[in-house]
Chains A and B, each alone.
Chain A
Amino acid sequence: MLAKRIIPCLDVRDGKVVKGVNFEGIKEVGDPVECAYEYNLQGADEIVFYDITASHEGRGVMLDVVRNTAKKVFVPLTVGGGIATVDDIRETLRAGADKVSVNSQAVKNPQLIKDGADIFGSQCICVGVDAKAVGENKWTVYINGGRIDMKLDLIEWVKKCEALGAGEICLNSIDTDGVRGGFDIPMLRAVVDAVSIPVIASGGAGKLGDFADAFLKTDCSAALAASLFHFKELTVSQVKDDCRSKGINIR
């Protein structure tokens, strides 16, 4: 049976792992290669690097991080943040990433999903989606780190992503992100029901039981968290033990 995946995410700026809730409060806290290696030892099923670098120089640094990580971490690596063109996808995969995560750029230019899937295969195109509730069981898609409401219906958008060839959806709820009260179960359930590609739950994990909760209440394929693991409040292995003890199939 296919195991549910636990995915730690590392926010990287200029080649350093950073922590912080907003851009002003960011602190550099470590070497991404070392952090990825540590997560690998804890049993992470995949590792996501999210590049929050704005500059072009920073992109090159990010690719070096991927290259160096791929030499010592032998689980799938996903890289997101700032990927805008087919060339960006190509060079990220060539550096050793197994998947790329496209977000704002895919909303602005949905053809990026199709071109990426056609050239490199659906399996390496993950679409990251930031969404926020606008009513009962209704959500809209935001871009630029949750700052701009595109007035685009979430369910319509994820269906379109699937039709264009996306291999996976990473669904981040702006409503629960940072609140640490658990994943956004209604939003997650609605998206899982709308598509037949894997869906990763993101945004809101604050305590041990939140991961198992997402798996028990929805058919999501994976759950992702950043700060919870960054701040060493929980380890990946603790989360996996908790899921296992509740009968969830975990590696």
Chain B
Amino acid sequence: MIAIIDYGAGNIFSVKNALDHLGVECELTSDKQRIESADKLILPGVGAFPAAMEMLAASGLADTIREQSKQKPLLGICLGMQLLFDKSYEFKECEGLGLIKGYVDKIDDEGLVIPHMGWNKLVYNHDCPLFSGLDEDYVYFVHSYKAFCDDKNLYAYCTYGSRVTAVAGDGKYVYGTQFHPEKSGSVGLKMLENFAGLM
């Protein structure tokens, strides 16, 4: 069972709809025990970093996620990916979950339309099991902040002005996608299916 962590942020039903469509067993939950008994975790999220982090910290979910990510696959989506990093500068400096080394800051290349909204093409930087059976293809992004990390943690990027971290990970159980796989048509569904198939 995949636990989709419900901490009051974003359109989490989209992720559930996509997994239901794939026939993958999943549930929306904020319950610590359900999260501990799940095989895998998805951390969704749309909105602002500080508010999301506050909710995760206040509910104790931040610690549960940190601990569980050492023993089972975790996928952060959009803001959920950004939360995996050490910190963010959205509105103010704010600590993240600290599962991937790096930080999140505003997209500030000159002359760009912000938010980065729409379909952009992935460039693979390292092998990643999420890419299994997929060529570099277009996926759906919508965000105004982006993550900065070491090359070894950068699994895929796209170009919008400069490089945008599209898929990142810790080399072990932790994965994050800046784009929305649940809104990226057949390509995104395949990536979710690949995540569901991880051991």
Contacts and interface: CB of A to CB of B under 8 A. Distances in A.
Interface string B138-159: 1010111000000000000001
Given A1-B159, A123-B142, A221 B113 contact: yes
B115 interface: yes
Interface in B114-129: 114-121
A147 interface: no
A155 to B, nearest CB: 17
Interface residues of B, number: 35
Interface in A65-97: 70-72, 74-76, 93-94, 96-97
Contacts of B11: 93-94, 96-98
Nearest to B48: A121
A237 interface: no
A229 interface: no
A251 B119 contact: yes
Contacts of B99: none
B34 interface: no
Given A5-B118, A167-B117, A197-B113, A96 B46 contact: no
B132 interface: no
Given A70-B14, A71-B17, A74-B184, A222 B118 contact: yes
Contacts of A238: none
B169 interface: no
Contacts of A93: 11
A76 B183 contact: yes
B63 interface: no
Contacts of A197: 113-115
Contacts of B6: none
A45 interface: yes
A251 B18 CA distance: 21
A124 interface: yes
A65 to B, nearest CB: 14
A134 interface: no
Interface residues of A: mostly helix, strand, loop or mixed? loop
A51 interface: no
Nearest to A72: B21
B34 to A, nearest CB: 21
Contacts of A96: 11, 13-14, 17
A104 interface: no
B21 A198 contact: no
A21 interface: no
A121 B118 contact: no
Contacts of A70: 13-14, 17
Contacts of B197: none
A2 B120 contact: yes
A123 B143 contact: yes
A74 B118 contact: no
Interface string A1-14: 11111000000000
A45 B142 CA distance: 13
A40 interface: yes
Contacts of A168: 117
Interface of B: 11, 13-14, 17-18, 20-21, 46-48, 112-121, 138, 140, 142-144, 159-160, 180, 182-186, 188-189
Given A3-B138, A197-B115, 10 more contacts: A1-B120, A2-B119, A45-B118, A71-B20, A93-B11, A96-B13, A96-B17, A123-B46, A198-B113, A198-B118
18 contacts: A2-B119, A3-B118, A3-B119, A3-B120, A3-B121, A3-B138, A5-B118, A45-B118, A71-B17, A71-B21, A74-B182, A74-B183, A74-B185, A75-B184, A75-B185, A94-B11, A98-B11, A222-B118
Closest 7 CB pairs of A and B: A251-B138, A251-B119, A3-B119, A123-B142, A2-B120, A121-B47, A71-B17
